[in-house]
Amino acid sequence: MATVNDFIQRFGGAGAMDEREASQYYDRFASTHDSDREFDSNALVEGTTQHLGQLPADQFQQSAQSAFEQAPPQARSGLVQTLLGALQGRGFNLGSMASQLGLGSADPNQMSGSDFARLADYSRRNHPEAIRQTVQQQPWFVKAMGHPILMGALGMVAAHMIKNRSR
């Protein structure tokens, strides 16, 4: 079974990581199982949030929209509710912001993929802690955004872990 040291070595120059391997490492970091305890879920959330915050708006929105549209309805609903819950806890009101954000609907149950992508993009730029909470509670979302996003997030996780080890 791969370890955290294996993960760090893979990002330290031991060759390219394919989609399957990246997905498996991501799952281990996101896992709450005792056998995955050495994989730091906080490093995953921090690194992923940092990576998402650095993406160009068009790349982020396209990936977020695609992930949202490919998800089953229950997963979409959970994703929207998680993000809105995190925003509302910070004083955000979707009804009053819907037109400003260019959303087709202020009803979370009627939100389209492009509406969600605009809301998520607004959130990552203005309320990164809301995206952090969403990544933490809905880790499937980052994997669904695609391999380039997943690899960037894992790269940030490796950087965080290497930095913490050198302290």
| Number of domains present in the structure of the chain | 1
Residue 166 is predicted with a pLDDT of 67
Closest alpha carbon to 78 in 154, 146, 151, 133: 133
Burial class (CB in 10 A: 0-12, 13-18, 19+), 9: middle
Contact in structure between 127 and 87 (CB atoms under 8 Å): yes
pTM here is 0.87
Residue 121 is predicted with a pLDDT of 97
Domain holding 21, by residue range, is: 4-165
> Mind listing the pLDDT tens digit for each residue in 71-90?
999 999 999 999 999 999 88
CB atoms < 10 A from the CB of 7, how many? 23
User: In the numeric block, which tokens belong to residue 9?
Assistant: 């070595």
Residue 14 is predicted with a pLDDT of 56
Residue 107 is predicted with a pLDDT of 84
- First and final CA of the chain: distance in angstroms? 27
Which segments in the chain show pLDDT lower than 50?
Answer: none
